[in-house]
Structure 1
């Protein structure tokens, strides 16, 4: 499974990219707004940090606005993927953009039918929101499982991005149901390698080594 970072913070992206763990980045208007910087400047900077897909979202609501904005955004860098909302106008835009060779990521997917329609329209990626579905008593993981089965059954090339990831367990569950990608907030990404038993084991090793060194010193290094 590929790991994307769900952030617009360039410092976080650099930090995790240096570990070789980041396959791409997803942003949205809320994440961009938190940075307090120009949208185009932020997106273009991210595209220089990672070589993988960078999702940048349109803000228009109509077909015409989305297509116009998508064409502009896609021109900023070769690795940009344009995020389009899951609406009727959005689906129309995805069809046109797909025909033009502009890659798209349909966001705010909450049902199988929405994901299937986005795939049929030509979306390169679809983003089911795990946490938000869990919040209303549905299962985001079950949606990913169903979408994977259906897309596989019919040979769609569309990749599934598990979004709205709230925990390391979400990442685990997404991997178990064959999600192609998990897009993970930086604060969650940093927890993926953490475990209290690892910390305990490292402390034990350090203590044992210190005791050994002390004994060596007391024995004159013999």
Structure 2
């Protein structure tokens, strides 16, 4: 048995990619997108024909990027999502711009803008998750969106407090970043895996409905040890590795250590802010690319 089949028998798999050629016919349970992944797909020329046709049709639209107005970026984002959705069994996450992560009103408005555009072109809204960084404003906005039947994926989860706020708010799914926690804390066992296992224990012990999607892996062992999660989200690189490695029973099992977050070198707020900053950098790179393409039509 290949590792991928072993894992798929234990949990649901989301793919971290916007590459439709890669996603086609693999029947992943879910997909997560962000500006970095969309930028990568555009630069690799995956969407050449789609992008060219889209820009020719929309290049006269002056607003390329905006918090409130419907922009060229918004329409392109939803257009790409529409092409991926037929190949995804359950849900796909669409990320808001990182720059509004701390602004409750803008998160709400932008989320409705995405939903409006999805509905306008006939996307099944039940398959859409608004991907929001788990700031206080983001969690509060996601709770309000849930009250209006819009589900969210709260990303950049780095501490138990963030997770518990999401659990208590009934958020649909959270994405703890395993690898970034492991990078920040040294311990005998894998701190990132321990962190997520603690979240799973917290969820199960309190019967929370929120799903947990482990993300940001550094190695195969981390993936294998987190099949206790509702979902794992992996990059195409790890997908290919898992498809090519035979399953063995001698898999390292990390122990749960509830106190690991008290490590004095652990700064979850810094990790959250750095994650938002990187998302914003990639978003701006994508906007610059779109602008350059329009100027050269």
TM-score (norm 1): 0.81
Aligned length: 192
Verify the 8 A CA contact 1:165 1:182 in the aligned structure 2: no
Taking the TM superposition and a 5 Å limit, the aligned residue runs for 1:47-126 are 47-59=85-97, 60-61=100-101, 62-75=103-116, 76=118, 77=123, 78=125, 79-126=127-174
- Structure 2 counterpart SS, 1:160: strand
Describe the superposition over 1:32-62 as per-residue Cα deviations: whole angstroms up to 9, x where unpaired: 2222352121112111221311011111331
Is 1:13 the counterpart of 2:23 in the alignment?
yes
Find the aligned partners of 2:113 and 2:22 in 1 and give their Cα distance: 26
- Structure 1's 35 and 197: CA in aligned 2 closer, same or farther, altered over 3 A? closer
Task: Give the aligned partner of residue 40 of structure 2.
Answer: 34
RMSD: 1.9
Identify the match of residue 151 of structure 1 among 203, 216, 221. Answer: 203
Unaligned runs of at least 5 residues, structure 2: 1-10, 43-50, 52-75, 249-297
Residues in 1 aligned to 2:242 and 2:148: alpha-carbon distance in whole angstroms: 38
What is the alpha-carbon distance in structure 2 between the residues aligned to residue 49 and residue 197 of structure 1? Answer: 27
1:67/1:186 Cα in 2 relative to 1: closer, same or farther (>3 Å)?
Answer: same
Question: What TM-score do you get using the length of structure 2 for normalisation?
Answer: 0.61
Between structure 1 and structure 2, the one with the greater Rg is 1
SS of residue in 2 equivalent to 1:102? coil
Q: Which has the higher contact order (CA 8 A, sep 6+)?
A: 2
CA distance in 1, matches of 2:193, 2:222: 8
Residue 135 of structure 1 is aligned with which of 183, 186, 200?
183
Distance, in Å, in 1 between the alignment partners of 2:95 and 2:247 is 40
Tell me, in whole angstroms, the C-alpha distance in 2 between the residues paired with 1:197 and 1:132: 26
Contact 2:26 2:87 in 1 (8 A): no
Q: Which runs of 4+ in 1 moved over 6 A?
A: none
How much has 1:15 moved relative to structure 2? 4.7
CA gap 1:42/1:136 in 2 versus in 1, 3 angstroms = same
Q: Which moved more, 1:30-39 or 1:129-138?
A: 30-39
